[in-house]
Amino acid sequence: MTKQLELATFAGGCFWCMVKPFDQWEGVEQVISGYTGGSLDNPSYEQVKTGTTGHYEAVQITFNPSIIPYDQILSLYWPQIDPTDADGQFQDRGPQYRAAIFYHTLEQKEAAEQSKQEIINSNRFKKPIVTEILPASNFYPAEDYHQDFYKKSEKEYKEDREKSGRDEFINQHWEE
């Protein structure tokens, strides 16, 4: 019996910090760091980090929905970001670091919109929720040294994450 895998694509600032939260769940087959949403084919990190390509730093998650449904993937996504920041995420500023959900199906779009509305209705944030929900487009894997960065460069990953302010924000706004 073959399993039917699906894709989920999320932007949430620096992709180094977006892999680990998904990578550790049963049913998640792969998490790839990369670039999406822009018009440049096969962009490099050097090109994307200029903020001029239209691309977001993002992660593409391959998952088995019979083990971990898309709704659960969404519930893992939101607490990784500041959904009120339209200019980047934490210490990473610029359009390449904006948060967004890229849907692959109409069902994903509807689920993402519903989850966003739940965040709005929760009144957890005083500022408006600005995370965009966009159709998925070409996804270009980032260079090898960016893949599984939290595993390959553990010390640098921890230092960057500590400096970012991400964990403080998560603890303040998402922990219950």
Catalytic sites, residue numbers: 14
Residue 38 CA to residue 98 CA, distance in Å, equals 13
Q: Cβ distance 45 to 16 under 8 Å?
A: no
Residue 39 CA to residue 55 CA, distance in Å, equals 7
Residue 5 CA to residue 23 CA, distance in Å, equals 15
Count the residues in the chain: 176
In the numeric block, which tokens belong to residue 49? 């980090």
Q: Cβ distance 23 to 3 under 8 Å?
A: no
Would you give the distance in Å from CA 110 to the centre of its chain? Answer: 18
Q: What are phi and psi of 105, to 5 degrees?
A: -140, 165
Q: Cβ distance 84 to 124 under 8 Å?
A: no
Coil vs helix vs strand at 59: strand
